[in-house]
Structure 1
């Protein structure tokens, strides 16, 4: 199953003055070599920020200058902008013009191309025969307005030396599947233009609170959900919960639903199984009207091998879009690897980025599989133990260049755009500024955190959890790179893995999750689920992510319909009825998640507020730290509660704003959360303006107090 292969690969890697026009506006530093060299500091910023990178500065500068060289080449030394270069979707594909229709395709190996479809009985005919544009690998066909109409299905019939085949155009912006034959076709799509209600949108995402979601499985019913259903039924939940960004998976068209959208066939087509392009735009528009940013999970790390639906053999040259030889196929994902060294491929992918931003008003992207792009080995079987492992010659400079320019482009098109890298190796500079020698992502996924929590739950007894280790792991990141922290994403919810709640409670969720019938395993799971999330979310330096349903402890796993399960949708959905049922315990976790986000947002400039450790004691299993006026206190001990446990904190009065042990969240309610806690004078620390704050700390609980 494609999903299993993709997840397996991730788990494997876890082991282991005209130039001004070409400026990347996000950094205001992308320019020609000449411009940058004239203003270059003694050391590039990445090295200034981390002196341990000094030995590798030549490689860092080399990659930076490679990106500048390619930028100058693509922009003709600043005569056009990078955004101008990435307008391929306006040229290629099928377009309605004032005179009729025009179709263009890049297919250098083709000897003939016809359009076949509903409009000509799916037969080759001279009227629908394209012509090669002289001196290029591009083909063009101009037709009258009556030659086709909105809704017609069509394909290319491509001929090449020694073969022929029906193909879906690479730049098709609408692809549909026949329900009976299961065959995919391109579709003429030219409705009335969508009228945006929210024409401009600037997200307020400090901190960035992401709700990772999948349209198809976003409903209770055992079926494929739609954009409209998600807008009407799920989006209001996200707004109510307090998230300010949704990250949508599986948008780009993919032939196999069970691939979770990671085996893409048509990169410019929004998946039709969820509805029409206009319905997706309406979803995004509605989110924007409610202050919610929308980013998409973009897959440029590989492509599906399919030839009929995808780019695998568009015109008799299997290497047209992909690397030749041993690098052609991904060894773990059963897919094809883009040749980022080709200008045409760079044009295709950069245009794809701009297309989703411009046409659909997406607010940015989470780039999937970045580790796989960075290394010839795709990161498989490598440990990445020291800096030398990132600069030993096994890095794909073409892919690094592409990712760098993609970030430049995205921020040039939309200076407020959000870019996130899913990367497990820890490549330095990934989320550092381009001007500093970085790759320009705004954030990188902190993929160490979910691995740590899972390892802790699996391998350690509760009494062996060490606050010092927890605090180190959830704060372990480069100072000059923002991260997205998370406890679990979709990966941990797939068949073959387990969510945190299921690791904590397992089968008892089926029998003892009704209020009044909880057993010890359920009480433990509910308590630790809240504490794990609070520790992770409260120590972020960029953002926090939650996968759809995990906020309320959605039971079971994700398993898309496939032959092995009788093509069932039973596990490819979200059971919202569980959290809505106040007789069950799920709402405790959902209610806590909502209050946790509210608490985090209550501290102004939360991201910029340093995490200051107040105390940790591994023997007691107690941890305390402050962010601004918020004091976070954890007692991870499964059995020991502490009375008058003291901390030295800034002098003043403190009020409880969040208590994991509150009965409203499924706790025991052992603290009086209405009490104001006053610090106690100690002459020894009077010059430090600190006094003792003494608290009652129940076992397996956490408190958040705010200094009044």
Structure 2
């Protein structure tokens, strides 16, 4: 009976496909593997292909055959690729299925989802779904110009979003918004706030909602919790049509142990290392990809290109890069295996990362890859051909931790910690840095950004505005996790909406208005974003005034000759007549002041600006006398003679 239900012809895989797959250089596997609706001998049906080299038998089961494990067997190819395939007539879009795998190892049997599935059932269900991912895009204008928007000298103000908890519908059992509902609400909000990009925490299918998506099983499928693949495409399309870039978090380092996923796929450690000292990540209790296996490389790089090709995203933020680079990551002495030279560097993973970035930029030179890498590994954001890892940018975790530590201190004691603010400039141009105030800093008892700030409520809000102002002035691209932009009081919780009702209160309205105005200034002034990755765009005025807890510096444009002066006062004491040396005479116009009453401040300011006088200061021939607001930052632009 079984042999008549499956046709073993019409394979989508050519000999060349197999050759590339086995040598780790097939980067479009999603076009050939998994389930694809096609026509064979004039008959419509679905072609299935799955990699299970250590299987004794593989079959397709689903609603269409009553989940019969034997009625629709696949056939292994005769080219030693380990790929099982077959064509089942009559099956089309929406077919729910799994692979039943019988291993050659100890008779192990298991039901697996399709690693290449484009769509999955909504958790806690675990089957894959045959799905056509065609979509009629309307973002042609964005795709033509995005090389400018995604360039390293472009403004990047990234709004980091967890789709399931940005906004919920309390009238409907507090459900999350769908992808299409997010398009109705998120797009307009991000545009109004002036952010240039959104970054979504992983939207790839994941079984455990509490992992925030970082425990991925569907490397080619968006989670169905919020809708279909086309629904996500619609959201991305709408963001693009409003000139907003889209970055996806992507996790090529580890995967969960859920039985229906990649773990122990064909009764052997196929995608992961066999030895737990290399193959199991104790910190997250998940399996580590075997980046030295060529077929796994093809799988992962194909996943990266899939999101760039089919979903037209503008960047991938690669999670947990440090865990890939170091064999001893989160391990005790004796619990890891050194490399062939006796070191702790993971040579296979390093090679994989470099190849990944080479392929991404070869196929999509108008996107960026961004590393979440928390160590001092050198040249993370330098090309592979000069010895780097090849990422476009890297999160500056050191800046984030030092800055938040400094801001959590009572202003009385900040003068003893001034180096926490100034130290970041010493290494600011070693990498192409993103300055992240991310989701990781507002969970697990760390408190929200507003909660971290010291003092009474007025001082907390002033400190938060000052923190954001300091970040926007500092060299590097910007990232802010949702809720921070209006001063969310509570820690982020993935099962709960942001506290949007706070925006009925003036202090929160003020923070939101401040972030909005900073975004617009940042985007409109090339001096604040053009030269983020070179010291040619930055110059200290003074970082020695620790007693007053004041720093001052300038940002410079690449071609315009524009100069922006940033002066920050990290104490609640206003300073009148504070003199700052400047490189130009004439008027310095006050562009933004975090203490303005419209932001909830006390109104200390410079009445629109200050004029330089011939009074030497800070080693310069001219200076301006300023009013520095309490716990405030001012941005001034030179309008004088050059």
- Over residues 566-623 of structure 1, what are the superposed CA-to-partner deviations in whole Å (9 max), with x where a residue is unaligned? xxx3xx32222322x2x44211101001111222223225331522111231112121
Shift of 1:524: 0.5
Pairing partner for 2:568 from 634, 637, 648: 634
* 2:336 aligned partner: none
The separation in 2 between residues aligned to 1:600 and 1:261, in whole angstroms, is 31
- Classify 1:600/1:342 alpha carbon distance in 2 versus 1 (closer, same or farther; 3 Å): same
TM-score (norm 1): 0.79
Which has the higher relative contact order, 1 or 2, with Cα contacts under 8 A spaced 6 or more apart? 1
- Classify 1:213/1:411 alpha carbon distance in 2 versus 1 (closer, same or farther; 3 Å): same
Pairing partner for 1:412 from 340, 356, 362: 362
Q: Give SS of 2:450's match.
A: helix
The separation in 2 between residues aligned to 1:381 and 1:539, in whole angstroms, is 37
Alpha-carbon RMSD: 2.6
The separation in 2 between residues aligned to 1:405 and 1:462, in whole angstroms, is 50
- Classify 1:283/1:465 alpha carbon distance in 2 versus 1 (closer, same or farther; 3 Å): farther
Shift of 1:141: 3.5
- Classify 1:145/1:201 alpha carbon distance in 2 versus 1 (closer, same or farther; 3 Å): farther
- Classify 1:267/1:131 alpha carbon distance in 2 versus 1 (closer, same or farther; 3 Å): same
* 2:185 aligned partner: 233
* 2:442 aligned partner: 493
* 2:498 aligned partner: 574
The separation in 2 between residues aligned to 1:555 and 1:407, in whole angstroms, is 39
Asked if 1:590 corresponds to 2:512, the answer is: yes
The separation in 2 between residues aligned to 1:320 and 1:463, in whole angstroms, is 51
* 1:539 aligned partner: 474
Contact 2:50–2:85 (CA<8 Å) still a contact in 1?
A: no
Contact 1:624–1:633 (CA<8 Å) still a contact in 2?
A: yes
The separation in 2 between residues aligned to 1:602 and 1:595, in whole angstroms, is 11
Q: Within 5 Å, give how 1:115-264 maps onto structure 2.
A: 115-126=60-71, 128-146=72-90, 148-161=91-104, 162-177=107-122, 182-190=124-132, 193-199=134-140, 200-203=143-146, 204-205=149-150, 206-221=154-169, 222-264=174-216
Shift of 1:208: 1.5
Shift of 1:408: 0.6
Shift of 1:644: 1.4
- Classify 1:123/1:538 alpha carbon distance in 2 versus 1 (closer, same or farther; 3 Å): same
- Classify 1:136/1:261 alpha carbon distance in 2 versus 1 (closer, same or farther; 3 Å): same
* 1:563 aligned partner: none
Asked if 1:614 corresponds to 2:541, the answer is: yes
- Over residues 69-111 of structure 1, what are the superposed CA-to-partner deviations in whole Å (9 max), with x where a residue is unaligned? xxxx9999xx99x997201111110011232321101101111
TM-score (norm 2): 0.86
* 1:368 aligned partner: 319
The separation in 1 between residues aligned to 2:419 and 2:324, in whole angstroms, is 31
Contact 1:83–1:354 (CA<8 Å) still a contact in 2?
A: no
- Classify 1:627/1:239 alpha carbon distance in 2 versus 1 (closer, same or farther; 3 Å): same
Shift of 1:652: 1.3
* 1:297 aligned partner: 249
The separation in 2 between residues aligned to 1:603 and 1:392, in whole angstroms, is 50
Contact 2:52–2:84 (CA<8 Å) still a contact in 1?
A: no
The separation in 1 between residues aligned to 2:262 and 2:462, in whole angstroms, is 49
Q: Give SS of 1:149's match.
A: coil
The separation in 1 between residues aligned to 2:25 and 2:347, in whole angstroms, is 24
- Over residues 338-385 of structure 1, what are the superposed CA-to-partner deviations in whole Å (9 max), with x where a residue is unaligned? 111100111111111111111111112000000000000125579xxx
The separation in 2 between residues aligned to 1:143 and 1:685, in whole angstroms, is 79
* 1:94 aligned partner: 35
Shift of 1:225: 2.5
* 1:282 aligned partner: 234
Asked if 1:554 corresponds to 2:488, the answer is: yes
Contact 1:173–1:269 (CA<8 Å) still a contact in 2?
A: yes
Q: Give SS of 1:85's match.
A: coil
* 1:21 aligned partner: none
The separation in 2 between residues aligned to 1:555 and 1:201, in whole angstroms, is 41
Which sections of structure 1, spanning at least 5 residues, go unmatched? Answer: 1-72, 383-390, 506-519, 561-568
Q: Give SS of 1:98's match.
A: strand
The separation in 1 between residues aligned to 2:587 and 2:275, in whole angstroms, is 67
Shift of 1:699: 2.4
Contact 2:283–2:330 (CA<8 Å) still a contact in 1?
A: no
Shift of 1:311: 0.7
Contact 2:415–2:548 (CA<8 Å) still a contact in 1?
A: no
Pairing partner for 2:399 from 446, 449, 461: 449
Shift of 1:459: 4.9
The separation in 2 between residues aligned to 1:136 and 1:173, in whole angstroms, is 26
Contact 2:402–2:421 (CA<8 Å) still a contact in 1?
A: no
Contact 1:323–1:337 (CA<8 Å) still a contact in 2?
A: no
The separation in 1 between residues aligned to 2:537 and 2:88, in whole angstroms, is 64
Name the structure with the higher helix share: 1
* 1:644 aligned partner: 577
The separation in 2 between residues aligned to 1:74 and 1:614, in whole angstroms, is 59
Asked if 1:398 corresponds to 2:348, the answer is: yes
Shift of 1:168: 0.6
The alignment of Structure 1 onto Structure 2 pairs a total of residues equal to 586
Contact 1:83–1:413 (CA<8 Å) still a contact in 2?
A: no
Shift of 1:499: 2.0
The separation in 2 between residues aligned to 1:380 and 1:324, in whole angstroms, is 14
The separation in 2 between residues aligned to 1:303 and 1:468, in whole angstroms, is 41
* 1:624 aligned partner: 552
The separation in 2 between residues aligned to 1:201 and 1:246, in whole angstroms, is 19
Shift of 1:258: 0.5
The separation in 2 between residues aligned to 1:489 and 1:157, in whole angstroms, is 41
